[in-house]
Copies of this chain bind each other. A is one copy, B any other.
Amino acid sequence: MTFLPDLPSDADLSPFVEAGLRDLAALVALESVSAQHRMLPETADAVTRLLEAEGFTVRRFPGEVAPVLLAEAGQGPRTLLIYNHYDVQPESPLELWDSPPFALTERGERLYGRGISDDKGEFVSRLAALRAVKARNGGQLPLKVRWLIEGEEEIGSPSLASFVEQHAGDLKADGCWWEFGSITADGTPQLFLGLKGIVCLELRCRVADSDLHSSLGAVVDNPLWRLAAAVASLRDASGRVTIPGFHDDVRPPSEADLQAVAALPEARTPLQDTYRVTRFLGEAAEHQHRSNFMPVLNVNGFHGGYGDAGSKTVLPAEGFVKLDFRLVPDQDPARVVALLRAHLEAQGFGDIEVVELESHEHSGRTSPDEPFIATVRSALEAVYGTAPQVIPSSGGSGPIHPFLHHVGVPVAMMGIGNVGGRVHAPNENILRRDFVSGVRFGTVFLEALAQGE
C-alpha cells in the first residue's frame, strides 16, 4: 500500500508554477538544436545553474556533440533516477509557426515554443515539483535524486548507451522517471512502461550512370521496380514482417502486459478524428495489442525518377528507400540488419545497397507488477482523479535498453504532453493545466516515493 501525502492546492503550488514558467521561458529561448549543434554547451550551462541552485552536485561529461549532465541531491532511504534531455528538434518549417519558436508564448489554454513539451517543459515541471517538496519538508529533499540530462536525444542519443553502461553504479535507483508522458484529451494520465527498439536504414539501387529513355525498358532493368519488389518482400498486407528469422527472438508479452493492454480503451477514433486515417492495419480489437507488442517495418520515404506533373518516359538510373524497423524485446538491431541483408540476397536483390543510418536501439519494457510502478500509479490516480492508462509499450523508441540492462532500474513514463502537442512540429505546445498538474503530480510522487517502504 502506497503512502500518499496531502495534495497541494493550486494556491500552494502557484509560486512554484510561476517560477517554473519563468525558467521554462529562459530555456525555450536557448536554441539547443542538436541536429545543427546549436547552443548546446550554453543550454547545458543554464540547466546546470538551475540544478545547482537547488543544491545539486552536477558533473559534466563530454558527449558526441553535447555535454551529458549527471546531478545528485537529497538524502533518504529511497533513490529516484530522472532522465531528461535539453536538446530540441529543428524549428523548420518556420513559416508554419504562429509565434516565434524560441519565445515562450501563451495563447488561450496553451503555451507554445520549440521544446516546451519535448523536453524542457517536462524537465522544468519536475524541477518545480522538487522545489515544492523541499518547501513542504523544511528545505530538505527527503530522498536521493539522481538526474541524468543529455543533449543528444533528438539525434538518437549516440552517447547515452555507453555512458549508462560506464556509470551504471552512479545511476542505481528504486526507479527511473522517463523524459516524457502524456495526458489524454479527457484528462486521463497515460503511463508508458516500455519503448520499441529502432533500426533506420536506406536501400539504394542503381542500374546506370545516367537516366535512360524508357524505350530501353525491355533490355535494362528498372531500379524503382527492383526497390519496390524488395520493399514488397519485407512485409505482407497485414503488416507482418516476412524476413526469415525476424520473429525468432521476439519475447512474448507477459501475462501482466497482456492484462494491461486488455484494459486499454479503444484507440482508433482519435486517429480517425485527428488525421482522417482511412487504412488501419488489423482488426479494431487488435489495435492496442499490435501497437504495444508488434514489431514493424515502416517505409519512411521512396524516391527516384520523374516526380513533376504529367508523364516523362524515363528509365531512371537510380532510386532509394528510407526504412525504419520498430523492434520489441529481445530483437537485436544488428541481427535484424544481417537478416535483412541475407533476405535481399536470397530474393535476388543482392545488388541493392543497405546503408545503416544513425544509431540503433534495443527495445525494453518494465513490468506493470514492479513495486515502483505501483507507487507511480497510486500517485497518478490521486492527482488526476482517475486511474492511469497503463501502456506496456509505446509505439515509439528511445534509449531505454541500457537503463534496464546495465542499471537494472524499473522505468516509468509519465508527464505533461497532450495529444495535440505537435511535438517535433510547428506550434509545439503544452496545456497550462497539464503543467500545473505535472507539478502537483511530481510533488506527490516524490513524497510518496520518499516515504514508501
Instruction: Spell out A's residues near B (CB within 8 Å).
Output: 196, 198, 200, 202, 206-210, 212-229, 231-235, 237, 239, 267-268, 271, 275-282, 287, 290-291, 294, 296-307, 310-317, 319-322, 324, 326, 348, 351, 357-358, 394-397, 424
Contact = CB atoms under 8 A, between A and B. Distances in A.
Contacts of A210: 275
B296 A218 contact: yes
A220 B270 CA distance: 13
Contacts of A317: 275
A316 B287 contact: no
Contacts of A351: 278-279
B290 A207 contact: no
B305 A312 contact: no
Nearest to A290: B218
A119 to B, nearest CB: 16
B305 A300 contact: yes
A281 B297 CA distance: 30
A302 B305 contact: yes
Given A215-B326, A232-B232, A303-B307, 10 more contacts: A209-B276, A217-B239, A217-B296, A217-B326, A218-B290, A219-B282, A223-B279, A225-B297, A228-B231, A302-B305
Contacts of A310: 357-358
Contacts of A235: 225
A395 B287 CA distance: 49
Copies in the complex: 2
Contacts of A280: 219-221
A277 to B, nearest CB: 5
A311 B324 contact: yes
Contacts of A212: 275, 277
Contacts of A287: 219
A291 B218 contact: yes
A316 B299 CA distance: 8
Contact of A299 (B222, B239, B358): B222
A96 B226 CA distance: 30
A290 B219 CA distance: 7
B300 A214 contact: yes
A372 B229 CA distance: 46
12 contacts: A208-B275, A214-B296, A219-B280, A220-B279, A223-B279, A224-B321, A228-B299, A278-B351, A300-B311, A310-B357, A311-B324, A312-B322
A213 B229 CA distance: 24
A218 B281 contact: yes
Contacts of A233: 232
B312 A301 contact: yes
Contacts of A324: 214, 217, 311, 313
Given A228-B231, A280-B219, A358-B311, A214 B298 contact: yes
Nearest to A320: B307
B357 A311 contact: yes
